[in-house]
Amino acid sequence: MEHAVPTENFGRAFVEWREGHPQCIDRHGKPFKGRNCAQKVNLEYRRMQADMYNLFPAIGAVNAERSNFNYAELPDQPNAFGSCPMKIADRKAEPPQWAKGELARAALYLDWAYAPLYRLSKQQKQLFLAWHKQYKVSEWVS
């Protein structure tokens, strides 16, 4: 399972991610920050990280390449992974069409559920609202 909205994108909202915390000391006495610190000391960060509305099955190599890039429309870019319709270029990522609506709704949910701590940028919010309208919710078939 991978995060539709990368953990770094919401993790930076937490002071423990950016600056560390007195409890974030490794076994050698060295302070640390980032994901590990936020995960260790901040319950709200752990809630966001574990929120099932932001977790989706994904191919690890594709997710690693996508990194924490913002989403965008990349019409002139070829698929980055052969038959997998994911596109990545210039630190931007475009998911397959069939995933855009679900991804948009996951991101918009995080923006709503964790405000004011986490907020989408104006540009990302506009893109996700457009994808939400363009790619309707489909019936879940089990």
Whether 142 is covered by a domain: the verdict is no
Whether 140 is covered by a domain: the verdict is no
- Give the residue ranges of DSSP H helices in 1-142: 7-11, 15-19, 35-41, 43-50, 60-66, 97-113, 122-134
Whether 32 is covered by a domain: the verdict is yes
Whether 6 is covered by a domain: the verdict is yes
Summarize pLDDT for 63-76 with one digit per residue, the tens. Answer: 898 999 999 999 98
Find the helix packing angle between 122-134 and 97-113, rounded to 10°.
130
Whether 139 is covered by a domain: the verdict is no
Summarize pLDDT for 31-82 with one digit per residue, the tens. Answer: 999 999 999 999 999 999 999 999 999 888 888 989 999 999 999 888 878 7
Number of domains the chain is built from: 1
- Tell me the sheet residues that pair with 118: none
Whether 106 is covered by a domain: the verdict is yes
Containing structural domain, residue 21? 2-134
